[in-house]
Structure 1
Amino acid sequence: MESSDLMRRATHDIKLTFVCMASLMAVVLAFAVSSSHASLPNKTLIYCSDGAPAGFDPAQFISKAEYTTSAFTIHNRLVEFRQGSAEPYPSLAIHWDVSSDGLQYTFYLRRGVKFHTTPYFIPTREFNADDVLFTFERMRNLNHRFRKAYPAPVPYFVNLGLDKEIEKIEKPDLYTVRFTLRSANAPFLMNLGLAFGSILSAEYAEQLLRVGKASNINWWPVGTGPFIFRSYTKEAEDESALIRFDGNPDYWRPKDVQVSSLIFKIVPDATERVRKLKRNECQIMSYPRPADLAAIEADPKLELLSQPGLNLSFLAYNVLHAPLDNVLVRRALDMAINKKAIIKAIFRGREGAAQVASAPIPPALWSHDETLKDEPFDLEIAKALLAQAGYSKGFSISLWIMPLQRAYNPNPRLVAQMIQADWAKIGVKVEIVAHKWSRYIKGANEGEHDTMLIGWTGNNDPDDWLGVLLACDAVKSPFNSSKWCNPGFDALIKAARQTNDIDNRTILYQEAQKIFKRELPFTPILHATTYQPVNKNVTNFKINPLNAVLFTGVGLK
């Protein structure tokens, strides 16, 4: 899932700021490149991305664009996930202790980690516990000085309930941080590795407060990660938007920086991304169309990587809108969607590209309930259910579609048209609604849609699926696009968070999935394979099963 429209509102001010700082940046960066980058391989890696970020503040956003350009390029977290997996390992925290009751997590911090030196910020100290406290207090405390100066939303943090779960955060010393929770929270450690857990500089935040520019934290980022933000150039008449990063010569894991420069080219058109990849104008690209996969495989200069995705494409029913508040109607609509036909059409019959989804979490995830089965695709039974619900003559609803291509939905309009045709056969008239991304997310947040094609890529803890997409706390966010709140389901999710016993958690999550299947707040459609085209000169690149592209340790021959 993804979010936000802040970028467009701020574009004018950002352009002016960029122009004013251009001369200063040129001088400082020229010095930085000549003095520091001598230790880095003098190579430039170019990534063709499908979408521009709405900012660089990791706490605000839930989309791949922001995760890739900010959280996992500029920043580090206390714990991180190993490249190419969802396995957590120590990062800015070198180790940790968990109390026997699961209520206290004590993290021992890495020493010698430097924040980025940039034209707009020169740090006077290294990373320490004050930065961890700032990062999390800003998110959990609405009265925090920085939060009041820049009241940006932190949706993922809130939807996981961490604003309520964290009772206090303390620093016994400069290199120790202790979180005290109100109740045991099994996914807590895993959640700290997500984008919102990216550690920001408390010293930089204070500088911004002093000059009354707190919002600059979203456009002029400072982190401890492998790449240093350099510039964001908006679209010119003849070229894509460009985001430039310098390799961090002072990175605390030197082997993870294998290029002196990293460039993101924002290229919305998938066909053009393939052309640029073939011409070596970029070496890695996002989201190939299924129609282009064979040509990519046939190119001797390219390699097509693939991996089963931790993803889900689904159609959400806004249960606050009649007649979608009636479970019989939702079941009828669900039965009238030909999932196999959709997969065949949008993936061009490619073997193994996707599989039918019948549950709200992927089969590869522990606690997936294999007993959940779809009702057969049956238009006559669907019509009978509508009649039983009092809609024998049908009704009209809207179907909102994503304006972006995703691995789990490479052709949203075609999927919508196929569903529109299926539902027409049972008397349901569909208006397909297409908005720009910011408008689409705003509508999802405010519940303007009747139905909506959306999707999710999550981590390997079921709470990141069931809790984020379906919990009552998420109703007022774009995550729970069904606006569904079931007290019984919610109680099971909260109980599962409070035990570390995998067997008990599995029982609770499977019971929650049964409630989901009875109530059908959304129709799961498919789980897709993730495809990643790269130039064969690229080294050490791995597909990230989570929702970002990682350039850590990636280089060029």
Structure 2
Amino acid sequence: MTPAPSISRRHFHRRLAGLPLALAAVPAAAANAAPHTEPDAAPRHKPGSVVTLLTALEPPTLVGLVNSAAGTFLVSPKAVEGLLSYDFELRPRPQLAVAWEVQPDGLQYTFRLRRGVKWHDGRPFTSADVAFSVLALKQSHPRGRATFASVSEVRTPDAHTAVLVLSKPAPFLLTALAAAESPIVPRHVYEGRELASHPANNAPIGTGPFVFKEWQRGSHIIYERNPDYWDAGKPYIDRLVVRFVPDPAAAAAALESGTVDLAGATPVPIPDLDRLKALPHLSLDTRGNEYFNNSTTRIEFNLDNPYFRHAKVRQAVAHAIDREVILKTVWYGYGLAAPGPISPVLRAFYEPAAGVPGFDRKRAEALLDEAGFARGADGVRFRVSHDVFDGGGNRVGQYIRQALARVGIDVTVRTQEFGAYIKRVYTDRDFDFNNQGMSQMFDPAVGIQRFYWSKNFRPGVPFSNGAHYDNPEVDRLLEAAAVENDVAKRRALYAEFQRVIARELPTIGLVAVAQVTVANRRIGGHTVGAEGLSGNFADLHLKG
């Protein structure tokens, strides 16, 4: 067994909420965003070729070993790879591992590693690097602490075999091994030093198709082609430039003018998408967000509130809201209604028959009367505050204010910057209800359990169980699903979880918003699987 590295913990806050979100299949306007496909010659390396990728979020670090910020998981895989990558259906594909086997009891995962792979400094890649990285992720990565919690040891019987031994099953593990989520780093570089402050985090040494060149803070990152990449002939471009452009209007201008080639995470104002889509040199794509950005917007109630602790009041709120109106007016049709705790994008787990209350204003009025909150002389039943941050959340908040006013609930929308919102909701718990984005990730055990598990009520920790929801039956269902190896049984557990949440409504799902990639049509190979622009870009090429 490879010993665990010496690692110190680092407090971490990740901004998940409020970002534009992901879809695998979308209707109406979003369906029109599918790229126009034309016959293309086989990709080939073009000397001197440069592609510029735009991102609104400058990463805090360039390697996702101890940090899972959105900017980091975009750039980290370009240099530092993972054991696996994933197709659009989240099925695993080889990367640093070429074959894998899981024992029937789910307690042992054996990976056969790719031979002939070298780190950017020329040293060979071996199973010792895999063992070191998995144990480092278990100790230091914000999600890796939970993902790899059951990994008791990593055996390395030879240089090209790594065996993960688990104390209990973790059926999501085989989906958690993408480069951006679980990067494999060189043991000889990292071993013996504190990981969070390691200089290699800002000057990565990896096995990937691109070698780090420079990082000009506030401006750009430059990667250059790895001439010794294990996949012969790739990458097809000589230089990748990542530019930081936080202003959406400036991003739209840069894409329109051609000064940047590619941008994801709906980089422009949503009203601009149809205009950009009409330009002959640009294409829009909603694929490639299934792995990380599979998210929904939702209402979260403070169940300690004297009004929202009543299930009938929460049900009334659900009946008073028309998700289709939110989808059309706030997100311009780019998305799907997502009423439950699991998004319809997670098709393997989504239960459409969960029975979430639909739009019915008369029923909302009746439920509020039954709950004992009659209208006063001024027509108001009670007054509450609704907390949001950033533009999308505020637009949804204004709709909620208007919708609830019609059933006698007076809502004051409080908009604040992100840090103040996090403190108010998760530290001070000074809120009545909010709306926010919820990243569901690639599996409910990783992306959803944290919001509903009573053991994850952790004041001060962002994006935990902010509702203070406590239901022993839901705890049982979530805990059982997290270790259930049988696919059908696991789906049934999550289906029952969704039915319970539909009745009790500690949260109300609203919309799964389509996250859009805008690309110059001269660029190919940017979206080849579920990781999308967070892939390694080995297939990125110039057409023609």
Q: Deviations over 1:113-148 (max 9, x none)?
A: 22224xxxxx6x32222222222222334xxxxxxx
Aligned residue for 1:408?
Answer: none
The alignment status of 1:502 with 2:506, answered yes or no, reads no
Question: Which SS does the other structure have where 2:188 is aligned?
Answer: helix
For residues 475-554 of structure 1, what are the structure 2 equivalents within 5 Å?
475-476=457-458, 477-480=461-464, 481-542=466-527, 544-546=529-531, 548-550=533-535, 551-554=537-540
How far apart, CA to CA, are the structure 1 residues paired with 2:451 and 2:234? 34
Moved more, 300-309 or 92-101: 300-309
Aligned residue type for 1:377: F
The alignment status of 1:102 with 2:84, answered yes or no, reads no
Normalised by the size of structure 2, how large is the TM-score? 0.80
Displacement of 1:275: 0.9
Displacement of 1:471: 3.2
Question: Which SS does the other structure have where 1:155 is aligned?
Answer: coil
The alignment status of 1:317 with 2:305, answered yes or no, reads no
Aligned residue type for 1:328: K
Aligned residue for 2:153?
Answer: 168
The alignment status of 1:268 with 2:239, answered yes or no, reads no
Aligned residue type for 2:302: N
Q: Deviations over 1:481-540 (max 9, x none)?
A: 434343322222222233332221221111111111122121111123343221111122
How far apart, CA to CA, are the structure 2 residues paired with 1:484 and 1:306? 33
For residues 48-127 of structure 1, what are the structure 2 equivalents within 5 Å?
48-70=54-76, 72-82=77-87, 84-117=88-121, 125-127=123-125
Aligned residue for 1:291?
Answer: 271
Q: Deviations over 1:275-309 (max 9, x none)?
A: 11111110112313331122112211112223496
The alignment status of 1:259 with 2:237, answered yes or no, reads yes
Q: 1:313 to 1:263 in 2, by over 3 A?
A: same
Displacement of 1:399: 1.1
Aligned residue for 2:285?
Answer: 305
Q: Deviations over 1:1-32 (max 9, x none)?
A: xx95699xxxxxxxxxxxxxxxxxxxxxxxxx
How far apart, CA to CA, are the structure 1 residues paired with 2:501 and 2:491? 15
Question: Which SS does the other structure have where 1:294 is aligned?
Answer: helix
Please, what is the CA RMSD of the aligned residues?
A: 3.1
How far apart, CA to CA, are the structure 1 residues paired with 2:109 and 2:410? 52
How far apart, CA to CA, are the structure 2 residues paired with 1:355 and 1:215? 42
One of 306, 328, 351 as aligned partner of 1:369: 351
Aligned residue for 1:400?
Answer: 388
How far apart, CA to CA, are the structure 2 residues paired with 1:228 and 1:442? 39
Aligned residue for 1:214?
Answer: 197
Q: Deviations over 1:377-400 (max 9, x none)?
A: 344543554455455541322412
How far apart, CA to CA, are the structure 2 residues paired with 1:358 and 1:107? 39
How far apart, CA to CA, are the structure 2 residues paired with 1:233 and 1:96? 39
Displacement of 1:468: 4.5
How far apart, CA to CA, are the structure 2 residues paired with 1:344 and 1:248? 45
How far apart, CA to CA, are the structure 2 residues paired with 1:230 and 1:472? 46
Q: Do the aligned partners of 2:526 and 2:533 also contact (CA within 8 Å) in 1?
A: no
Q: Do the aligned partners of 1:401 and 1:452 also contact (CA within 8 Å) in 2?
A: no
One of 124, 132, 151 as aligned partner of 2:130: 132
Q: 1:228 to 1:345 in 2, by over 3 A?
A: same
Q: Deviations over 1:138-163 (max 9, x none)?
A: 2334xxxxxxxxxxx53222344x32
Displacement of 1:342: 1.1
**Structure 1 unaligned runs (5+)?**
8-38, 118-122, 142-152, 236-240, 404-410
Aligned residue for 1:406?
Answer: none
* Number of aligned residues: 486
Q: 1:283 to 1:339 in 2, by over 3 A?
A: same
The alignment status of 1:467 with 2:449, answered yes or no, reads yes
Aligned residue type for 2:474: F
Aligned residue type for 2:203: W
Aligned residue for 1:223?
Answer: 206
Aligned residue type for 1:374: V
The alignment status of 1:250 with 2:228, answered yes or no, reads yes
Aligned residue type for 1:139: L
How far apart, CA to CA, are the structure 2 residues paired with 1:525 and 1:4? 27
Normalised by the size of structure 1, how large is the TM-score? 0.78
Q: 1:4 to 1:102 in 2, by over 3 A?
A: closer
For residues 225-240 of structure 1, what are the structure 2 equivalents within 5 Å?
225-235=208-218
How far apart, CA to CA, are the structure 2 residues paired with 1:447 and 1:545? 37
Q: Do the aligned partners of 1:402 and 1:453 also contact (CA within 8 Å) in 2?
A: no
The alignment status of 1:330 with 2:314, answered yes or no, reads yes
Aligned residue type for 1:302: L
Displacement of 1:317: 2.2
The alignment status of 1:43 with 2:49, answered yes or no, reads yes
Q: Do the aligned partners of 2:234 and 2:539 also contact (CA within 8 Å) in 1?
A: yes
When you count helix as a share of all residues, which structure comes out higher?
1
**Structure 2 unaligned runs (5+)?**
1-10, 16-44, 375-380
Q: 1:457 to 1:227 in 2, by over 3 A?
A: farther
Whose RCO is larger (CA < 8 A, sep 6+)? 2
One of 143, 156, 171 as aligned partner of 2:143: 156
Question: Which SS does the other structure have where 2:296 is aligned?
Answer: strand
Aligned residue for 1:18?
Answer: none
Structure 1 segments of 4 or more deviating over 6 A?
none
Question: Which SS does the other structure have where 1:197 is aligned?
Answer: coil
Aligned residue type for 1:291: P
How far apart, CA to CA, are the structure 1 residues paired with 2:343 and 2:498? 12
Q: 1:95 to 1:305 in 2, by over 3 A?
A: same
Q: 1:442 to 1:87 in 2, by over 3 A?
A: farther
How far apart, CA to CA, are the structure 1 residues paired with 2:512 and 2:106? 34
Q: Do the aligned partners of 1:170 and 1:177 also contact (CA within 8 Å) in 2?
A: yes
